[in-house]
Amino acid sequence: MHWDMRKLGARDAYKLLGSCIVPRPIAWVSSQSGDGVPNLAPFSFFNAIGNDPPVVVIGLVKAPDRDLKDTASNIRATGEFVISLVSERDAPGMNQTSSNLPPDGDEAQTAGIAMLPSLAVAPQRVASAPAAFECRTLHYIETGPSQVAVLGEVLMCHVQDCFIKDPERIHLDIEAMQLIGRMHGAGWYSRQTDLFEMLRP
């Protein structure tokens, strides 16, 4: 079967993209408004797209009740954000921060998520995250009437000491991080527990 994506509505296009592009890493994005109001929300349209300089991208779509989510508005206003990666133990808290609070609401505080200060940007990072990236906006691109893509340069990378196998060679214990990924549907996630290796020819 074929779908002409140019003729599909946004909801159906999301179903196809979200069902076929799996698993997706989750960017647990902390940001703050120009007035300093913190925000924490998860996004699964996220990945790394370069390493010189190190660059990540997050896709932000509209909120149900307004044009842009607080994260997009905050990043547009300040140019800074932090991406914390999500372990399985943090999954319930991450899920709680996906709720729609008013712009002056603090998702981390409401969900009981401990935060730590960042070193290069104003937004804080999730204290329990296995790894986190402090980012500065390189490009803020409007990709549709109510969605944006944010390309961010990673200024600082934090990895908890317990997940570092060899600091000299930067070898990390990825399996121990127990990072989860976003799958299809309204609430399906994946674990990274069934791996196989193929070496490049």
Q: What is the CATH number of the domain that holds 18?
A: 2.30.110.10
Query: Does residue 178 form part of some domain?
Result: yes
- Per DSSP, 162 falls in state G
What would the pLDDT profile of 34-50 be if each residue is shown by its tens digit? 999 999 999 999 999 99
**DSSP β-bridge partners for residue 141:** 149
Assess if residue 197 is contained within a domain: no
Q: Tell me, yes or no, whether 2 lies in a domain.
A: no
**b or e along 134-170 (b: 16 or more beta carbons within 10 Å of the residue's beta carbon)?**
bbeebeeeeeeebbbbbbbbbbeebbbeebeeeeeee
Task: Indicate the average pLDDT of the chain.
Answer: 94
Closest CA to 62 of 52, 76, 73: 73
Rounded to an integer, what distance in angstroms lies between the CA atom of residue 122 and that of residue 155?
Answer: 12
Partners of residue 29 on adjacent β-strands: 41, 83
| Model confidence pLDDT, tens digit, residues 167-198 | 999 999 999 999 999 999 889 999 999 999 99
Q: What is the pLDDT of residue 100?
A: 85
In terms of Cβ atoms closer than 10 Å to its own Cβ (0-12, 13-18, 19+), residue 35 is exposed
The answer as to whether 201 is a domain residue is: no
Q: Which residue shows structure tokens 């003729």?
A: 7
Per the structure, how many domains does the chain have? 1
Residue 185 resides in a domain: yes
- Considering the domain boundaries, does residue 196 fall inside one? no
Which residue range(s) make up the domain with 36? Answer: 10-191
Q: Does residue 199 sit within a domain?
A: no
